[in-house]
Chain A
Amino acid sequence: MKLDPAIRDQVLATVPSLRAFAISLCGHVDRADDLVQETLLRALAHIDSFEPGTNMPAWLFTILRNLFRSEYRKRRREVEDADGHYAETLKSHPEQTGRVEFSEFRAALAKLPSDQREALILVGASGFSYEEAAAICGCAIGTIKSRVNRARTRLADLLAIDSIDDFGPDRPTRAVLASGGGRS
């Protein structure tokens, strides 16, 4: 059975954003690309369950998010302090993100609880509505709203912003790095 070229093009059109989401979630380009690849394998193997005319990006994001979640749970059993470990990795190898200019912001993002991080990214960067984000995460719209709000408040705290002038691109990363890994 061959895939409808229109469906294939919809899948391909979603890939750039799917990658950005994956990188934001796991912080490593290589791991993110593996995750995207695994998502596409699974999606195309189950393409029959996609209803043409419905939201392809939301469908693919849901698959990727679920894969990431199950992998995260697996890793959590192996590594006690999963979030802290992740933050440590980012600090010791910031180049792994491949994007040095956002290292400070990424480090702060990495310290958010993963449910807050994904909600913020889906709504604030991927451009999904609260409703779509709720469907992707399998939770209520109100839950997404409160996660996004908590994420933004926490980010502002983590970036230690006292005034808008403190939040420029020239600001050294010291504040975030000095604040220590894991929970604070």
Chain B
Amino acid sequence: MTTGKPVNAEPPAPVRDQPEAQNTMDTPVTQHRREVRLGREIQARIGQQLRAMYDEVVKEGVPEHISDLVRRLSEHDDGAA
């Protein structure tokens, strides 16, 4: 997984239960790695929430008053002017 990956294409990172063998020596490098991993998980969750919130509206489809409006305007184009 490269850092240049598109933000909306990250899979939910399956690294949560990864053993942290180097924990005894918490070097800046391993700490950094943990932060990066946590960052990815958080960003994946933010992406999921964002899409779930959005899709909830998308699922509602086209409200009747809007489909009526579009049909009416497409029959009488001058109505929109």
Contact = CB atoms under 8 A, between A and B. Distances in A.
A45 B42 CA distance: 44
A131 B18 CA distance: 36
Secondary structure call for the A interface: helix
B36 interface: no
Interface size range of chain A in the complex: 35 or more
Nearest to A148: B7
A3 to B, nearest CB: 4
B32 interface: no
B71 to A, nearest CB: 8
Contacts of B67: 12, 15
A127 B65 CA distance: 26
Contacts, number: 114
Nearest to A3: B74
Main SS of the interface on chain B?
helix
Pick from B8, B61, B69 the residue with the most CB of A within 10 Å: B8
Contacts of B56: 99, 102
The range of chain B's interface size is: 35 or more
A139 interface: no
Interface string B5-43: 011100000001000000000000000000000110111
Contacts of A159: 46
Contacts of A36: 66
Given A37-B69, A123-B7, 8 more contacts: A15-B62, A24-B53, A44-B77, A120-B50, A124-B46, A125-B50, A149-B7, A164-B42
Interface of A: 1-3, 5, 8, 11-12, 15-17, 19-21, 23-24, 33, 36-37, 40-42, 44-45, 47, 99, 102, 105-106, 109, 120-121, 123-127, 130, 148-149, 152, 155-156, 159, 161, 163-164, 167
Interface of B: 6-8, 16, 38-39, 41-43, 45-47, 49-63, 65-67, 69-71, 73-75, 77, 80-81
